[in-house]
Amino acid sequence: SKQNQKYSSKNPIQIMETGFNILKLSLCLSLFVVGSCAQAPAPWTPSNGMRPGTCDHYECPNYKLVEAGYAYEIRMYDAAVWMSAGPISATSMAQATKTGFQRLFSYIQGKNKDNVKMNMTAPVIAQATPGQSAYNVSFYIPKKNQENPPQDNDLHVQSWKPTYVAVRQLGGYVSEDVAKKEAAALMDSLDGTQWVLAIEKSKGKSPAYLVADYNPPSQTTARVNEILVPFTM
């Protein structure tokens, strides 16, 4: 046929070159698509405004999601009262958190001046004391006890005004080295935003950070932690 004559008139080498060029084009298109996907991952928004799963079981402080950015969240927390243990001298943040948790757990079990029992809440937060091997560990007071929290000789009350908080979420157990790296990563993710300017204005270029632990120390899997950097606008 004329169609067969058309192809048979071509040099076999030309036919091979044409096929090779088509193959190269197909391969390039495939690499382009894969490369484009690899260079444009979906933004990491750990909670997308949803509270960590632990808050389905325990009461957590109220906040409003202000912005879910790439590898960070900005939240606006309501005013809240916390009970704090510390400063706790310890060789690590993990050890201090465990010690603080034990003290605070006894407190909510009724071992306080008023013998008042309270429900467990989340998170427990830890903060390093700059330049010292000492930490403050704090427990969120349940809403029904916020106005008149039971007192304790070994603990002290911390009151939070409504405040903005930059947040980064991570799993596992958090060592101080990990916390420092994650805090640095959080600040890097805020680079170029209005938030980093507000943080530097109110807290300086190396702001103090908190580590929020949403699980009891005995839970070894599916752990949820957050790096928190409170600031004012």
Domain boundaries, the chain: 58-231
Please report the pLDDT score of residue 219 as a whole number. 85
Angle among Cα 69, 70, 75 to the nearest 5 degrees reads 30
User: Could you tell me which CATH class the domain 58-231 is placed in?
Assistant: alpha beta
Please report the pLDDT score of residue 51 as a whole number. 63
**Look-up of token digits 């908190």:** 210
Tell me how far apart the alpha carbons of residues 232 and 198 are, in angstroms, rounded to a whole number.
7
Please report the pLDDT score of residue 50 as a whole number. 52
Decide: 169 and 100 in contact? Cβ < 8 Å: no
Residue ranges in the chain modelled with pLDDT below 50:
2-10, 12-13, 15-20, 22-49
Please report the pLDDT score of residue 103 as a whole number. 95
Rounded to two decimals, the pTM is 0.76
Please report the pLDDT score of residue 215 as a whole number. 85
